[in-house]
Amino acid sequence: MGRKPPEPLIVEGKRVDGRSPEEMRKIEIKLDVIPRADGSAMFRIGDTIALAAVYGPAELHPAHLREYTSGTLRCRYRLAPFSVDERKPPGMDRRSVELSKLIRVALEPAIFLEEFPKAVVDVFVEILQADGSTRVASINAASLALISAGIPMRDFVVACSVGKVDGHLVVDLCGKEDNFSEADMNFAMMPKLKKVTLFQGDGTVSPEEVRKLLDLAEKSCMKVYEIQRGVLGEKFRE
């Protein structure tokens, strides 16, 4: 990140994959992909595929981790070894630990944890294919899995990535853009309540650009929200 790309990433207003700066990649969603789980969803954006499963609420072990007045949310994010160019050894590396935490931070405000004190809701996300913006794909998949599992929520949680590539402000960075961007930020919000639950990332941007990125992120998240609602609605229309 922050390195100079071998050739310009935006030529005549078109990005490496032909998109315009404010265009997201194609989104595909499938629900109930893991029947054993209490809720599950696959969220695909471009070539990034995130698979999420939710188990719970269930008894939390060990007992000393139980919170007396509130339930616990546990998230685990993992990149499958075959999901990236150079095979990633299985197991949790430091990046996966931080991303697991960020996903939890993004989802927690939407969940009524106080309705299942001393119990735990586990969210497992596996990235089957990584082409940029995996954490926001994870948040989108997890949110749908939580809703499908019947976990009481205040709202959906929708997420997208925004950044600066070749001086342009863009949404939904693909892998190539991710590697050479001047800024790469991840954004999540509760769409009906209009509250931001995650805004993190890095780069070099002016405060004014931060504001513009927030605008772009919010607008794009609302588009993702509409797609998610459509898919959930379909499930109950048989």
Partner 1 sequence: MKVRKIVFPGDEVGKRRGRKLGRGVYEVRGSVRSKYVGIPKETANEVDVIPLAGAYLPKVGDKVVGIIRDVEFSGWVVDINSPYVGFLPVGEGVREYVDTTRVDLSKYYDVGDVIFCRVVNVPKSRVVQLSMKYLYAKKLVGGTLVRIPPSKVARLIGKGGSMVELIKKRTKCQVIPGENGVVWVKGENALKAIEAIKFVEKKSHIYGLTQKVSELLR
Partner 2 sequence: MRSLENEYLRELLVKKGIRYDGRKFHEYRKIEVEEGTVKKAEGSALASIGETKVLAGVKLELGEPYKDAPNEGVLKVNAELLPLASPEFEAGPPGEEAIELARVVDRVIRESGSIKLEELCIEEGSKAWCVFVDIAVINNDGNLLDAATVAAVAALKDAKVPKVEGDEVVRGEFERELPLQFRPLNVTVCKVGKKLLIDPTWREEAVVDAKVSFGIRDDGKVCAVQTYETDGLERSELEKMLRLALEKNGELRRVLGWR
- CA angle, 199 then 202 then 205, to 5°: 100
Determine which residue in the list 190, 198, 217, 224 makes contact with partner 1, applying CB under 8 A: 190
| Binding status of residue 131 toward partner 1 by CB under 8 A | no
Instruction: Indicate which of partner 1, partner 2, none lies near residue 148 (CB less than 5 to 8 Å, by partner kind).
Output: partner 1
- Report the amino acid identity of residue 148: S
Instruction: Please give the DSSP secondary-structure letter assigned to residue 92.
Output: -
The smaller minimum CB distance to partner 1, of residues 42 and 173, is found at 42
Evaluated on CA atoms 61, 67, 70, 72, the torsion sign reads: negative
Residues 205 and 47: beta-carbon distance below 8 Å: no
Instruction: Indicate which of partner 2, partner 1, none lies near residue 201 (CB less than 5 to 8 Å, by partner kind).
Output: partner 2
| Binding status of residue 234 toward partner 1 by CB under 8 A | no
| Binding status of residue 109 toward partner 1 by CB under 8 A | no
| Beta carbon of residue 8, minimum distance to partner 1 (angstroms, whole number) | 41
Instruction: Indicate which of partner 1, partner 2, none lies near residue 115 (CB less than 5 to 8 Å, by partner kind).
Output: partner 1
> Measured between alpha carbons, how far is 98 from 106 in angstroms, rounded to an integer?
12
Determine which residue in the list 17, 28, 59, 98 makes contact with partner 1, applying CB under 8 A: 59
Residue count (the chain): 238
Q: In what order do the strands lie in the sheet with 168-171?
A: 168-171, 158-165, 183-190
Tokens 């990046």, located at residue = 95
DSSP secondary structure letters along 122-167: EEEEEEEE-SS-HHHHHHHHHHHHHHHTT--BSS--EEEEEEEETT
Residues in contact with partner 2 by CB under 8 A are 1-3, 67-69, 94-95, 97-98, 100-101, 105, 108-110, 179, 185, 189-190, 193-207, 210-211, 214, 218
The smaller minimum CB distance to partner 2, of residues 28 and 202, is found at 202
Torsion of CA 55, 190, 178, 8, to 10 degrees: 150
| Beta carbon of residue 35, minimum distance to partner 2 (angstroms, whole number) | 31
Tokens 């789980």, located at residue = 37
SS3 of residue 43 by DSSP? strand
| Binding status of residue 232 toward partner 1 by CB under 8 A | yes
| Binding status of residue 156 toward partner 1 by CB under 8 A | yes
> Measured between alpha carbons, how far is 170 from 166 in angstroms, rounded to an integer?
10
Residues 75 and 120: beta-carbon distance below 8 Å: no
| Binding status of residue 43 toward partner 1 by CB under 8 A | no
The smaller minimum CB distance to partner 1, of residues 60 and 198, is found at 60
The smaller minimum CB distance to partner 2, of residues 14 and 194, is found at 194
Q: What does the binding site for partner 1 look like in residue numbers (CB under 8 A)?
A: 38-39, 56-60, 68, 110, 112, 115-120, 147-156, 190-193, 229, 232-233, 236-237
